[in-house]
Amino acid sequence: MDGLHDMGGRQGFGLVVMSGRREPFHDEWEVRAAAISARLIGQHVYNMDEFRHAIERMAPRHYICASYFERTFTAAATLCVEKGVISHAELNALSGEMVPLASPARPGRIAPADLPELRIGDWVTVKNEFVGGHTRVPAYVRGKRGQIVDISPAYPFADAAAHGLEPAAQRTFDVRFRSADLWPDCCDDAEVHVGLFHCYLEIASPPV
Amino acid sequence: MNSSSMETRVAALEALLKEKGALAEDSIPTYAHRTSEEWLPVNGARLCARAWCDSGFKRFLLSDGKAAAASMGFTMPEHHRKLAVKENTPSIHNVICCTLCSCTAFTIIGMAPGWYKDFEYRARIVREARTVLAEMGLVLPDEIHIRVWDTTTDTRYMILPLQPPYTAGWSEERLVRLVTKESLIGVQRLEPPFLAVQDQDTLHG
């Protein structure tokens, strides 16, 4: 989903400020919101992928204006309503106001079979795919070429797991990109690594 | 949204979930205890200090971070399926981020600080790493290469900082106190000239 949450490489943001922003929590309700969501995940009311996607589905203006833990709260409340644990009406009644929730999800997708074997050192290109639902490809690597530097165990496929589909497990590959290949002539020089599911990748020829 | 309104909303959700049996009486205090007393950067600091003192343990930590952490009693949640530890050297500097949200190995390095979850860090660290680190007080010379690790899967990352040379021969317990949350994320280095010897005393207050 090409939403505002996909922030890597976006321009116009100011300085990173550490002063006053070193603590994980700055208010007591933030701990409570995080605790509620952790409990619901622990009890398998929803999974991490559904939780992440519920945050991503917040209306753009709401997403950008909400604090981190308001987003946590909104995702938890949205998923509790969508799964029938509570109703939106009873949440509004008890809050004394209309509580904004995230927008409905688009469909997810299941992982394709018959993926090519990939090894450390292989060059790969991130497929030029546009996914309406949840996905873990940051747009800044879409269509870009990099080199595999590490391989993970098989993880549940997030694009399916976020949508209640069978998340057939897949390995992920840590792929190394040169920043100059991601943002030519408009970045600091660095190697940027992204963990990518097997089916996001296709084999590429090495650079000449 | 202002804080008092958020307080009311969270209290409403909490009350409803308790009424439906989806939230236990001890869920919130248990979580608050874990985040403030158990999931602390001193866990990662212990892993680093042991790796500095014991080359066998260092190989273990770099090859299977999760198993190495487990061997010292540190657990990770179900969705943190791997801990990849990245070693800083005199010529390589590693830094972690989560451009899509806020993922960290929180049981090992502590809960993510506010700035790590802020839009400025998420948007800029991948594209302007050297500039952002300098803004945060870590001015790296061009000879030190930067490797950024964007946390997009169930793999979690931790930096093994370079051991400051003046600490050779120190005990493991003394070394533990050098390692900060910021150095485990990779926005700080511990060795001179990046951190002066006299600053070490003030790090942990």
pLDDT at B198: 65
Question: For residue A105, what pLDDT is reported?
Answer: 97
Confidence of residue A75 (pLDDT cuts 50, 70, 90): very high
pTM exceeds 0.95, yes or no: yes
CB pairs under 8 A between A and B: 237
Q: Which residues contact A114 (CB under 8 A, 6 or more apart)?
A: none
Calculate mean pLDDT across residues A94-100.
Answer: 97
Interface test with A, best of B109, B153, B182 (most A CBs within 10 A): B153
**Residue B110 with chain A: CB contacts under 8 Å:** 24
pLDDT per position as a tens digit, A106-122: 999 999 888 999 999 99
Per-window interface: A 14-43 vs B, CB < 8 A:
14-18, 20-29, 31-36, 38-40, 43
Q: Which among B5, B27, B118 has CB closest to A35? A: B27
Percent with pLDDT over 70 in chain A: 100
In this prediction, residue A169 has a pLDDT band, given cuts at 50, 70 and 90, of very high
Q: Give tens-digit pLDDT for A15-58.
A: 999 999 999 999 999 999 999 999 999 999 999 999 999 999 99
Task: Please report, for residues A5, A10, A20, B118, the alpha-carbon distance to residue B124 in angstroms, rounded to integers and kept in the order given.
Answer: 13, 7, 20, 10
Task: Give catalytic status of residue B5 as yes or no.
Answer: no
pLDDT mean for each 10 residues of chain B (205 residues):
88 98 97 98 98 98 98 95 98 98 97 98 98 97 98 98 97 97 98 83 54
Question: Which pLDDT value is given to residue B203?
Answer: 59
> How far apart, in whole angstroms, are the C-alpha atoms of residue B12 and residue A86?
11
* Mean of per-residue pLDDT scores for chain A: 97
- B120 and A16 within 8 Å at the Cβ level: the answer is yes
Q: Calculate how close chain A gets to B174, using CA atoms only, in Å.
A: 24
For residue A6, pLDDT over 60 is answered with yes
Mark which residues 75-134 of A lie under 8 Å from B by CB: 76-77, 80, 85-86, 90-91, 94-97, 99
Please tell me the predicted confidence (pLDDT) of residue B205: 42
